[in-house]
Structure formats: structure tokens, C-alpha cells
């Protein structure tokens, strides 16, 4: 009896999920594509590189989002703009411009948010 009930629940659940085109909040799913949060800033950098940053905690931290991993940098003192680091990697941002370096080597240089890709109402991490 218990196996019959479990089988019925499994079949019903599978049927419901089969009718769903996608998960809620996800328009389409591509396992190879990076998942970029809607409120992340996407910078176009030298060398055709793209830097994706999600500023969190009202500027207290920044998440660097790579296609294969992501990591957090914490806010640190800066002369102007904002600076985030973890002892190895440093993100410097001012307005819609940013740079990212790791162990003293520049990984992403002259990064700028293209004006046509994001609304101008995005929070400015470099605002004073």
C-alpha cells in the first residue's frame, strides 16, 4: 500500500514538472552560460574581457562573478571611489569604471559600464 502511494506521488510530481517550461524566475536555462544576477554591474574591459560585479550590503562588499566561480571582496579604505579586497584580489571602482587586480597583476583594466546596457538608476558604488 505504501509503495503504491509513493509511486502515485512520484508520477503526479513528474507530470507536474514535465508541464513546466522553466523554473520560476528563470526565463531560460543554459548549463554552460554564467548566471548573472539582474542587479549586477557588467563592465566591458580591455582585451574584450567582461567583469561582472554584484555590489551588496549597501557597498560593504562586492561579489566578483566569473563563469566558473564567484567570490566576495570586502570594503576597504579608499582615497576616492570604492575599494574592495580579500588580501589577494583588489577591486577599485569609481562611478561606472573599475579595475580588478590579483597578487599585483592587473586582470581587468579600463573597465566601463556601457551606457546602453544598464539603466542609469543603478546604485553607484563610487558615490560619496
Residues 100-128 have pLDDT tens digits of 999 999 999 999 999 876 544 444 554 43
Query: Which residues touch 123 (CB under 8 Å, ≥6 apart)?
Result: 55, 59
Cell of residue 40, nine digits: 549586477
Domain residue extents for the chain: 41-112
**Domain 41-112, classified CATH 2.40.128.200, yes or no:** yes
pTM metric for this prediction: 0.65
The b-or-e profile of 83-106 (16+ CB within 10 A means b, else e) is bbbeeeebbbbbebebbbbeeeee
Average pLDDT value for residue range 40-56? 96
Amino acid at each position: 500500500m505504501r509503495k503504491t502511494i509513493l509511486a502515485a506521488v512520484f508520477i503526479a510530481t513528474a507530470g507536474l514538472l514535465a508541464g513546466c517550461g522553466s523554473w520560476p524566475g528563470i526565463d531560460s536555462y543554459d548549463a554552460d552560460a554564467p548566471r548573472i544576477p539582474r542587479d549586477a554591474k557588467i563592465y566591458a574591459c580591455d582585451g574584450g574581457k567582461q567583469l561582472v560585479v554584484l555590489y551588496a550590503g549597501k557597498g560593504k562588499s562586492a561579489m566578483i562573478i566569473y563563469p566558473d566561480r564567484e567570490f566576495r571582496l570586502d570594503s576597504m579604505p579608499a582615497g576616492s571611489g570604492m575599494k574592495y579586497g580579500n588580501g589577494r584580489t583588489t577591486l577599485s571602482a569609481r562611478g561606472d569604471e573599475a579595475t580588478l587586480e590579483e597578487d599585483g597583476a592587473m586582470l581587468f583594466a579600463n573597465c566601463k559600464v556601457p551606457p546602453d546596457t544598464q539603466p542609469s538608476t543603478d546604485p553607484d558604488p563610487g558615490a560619496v
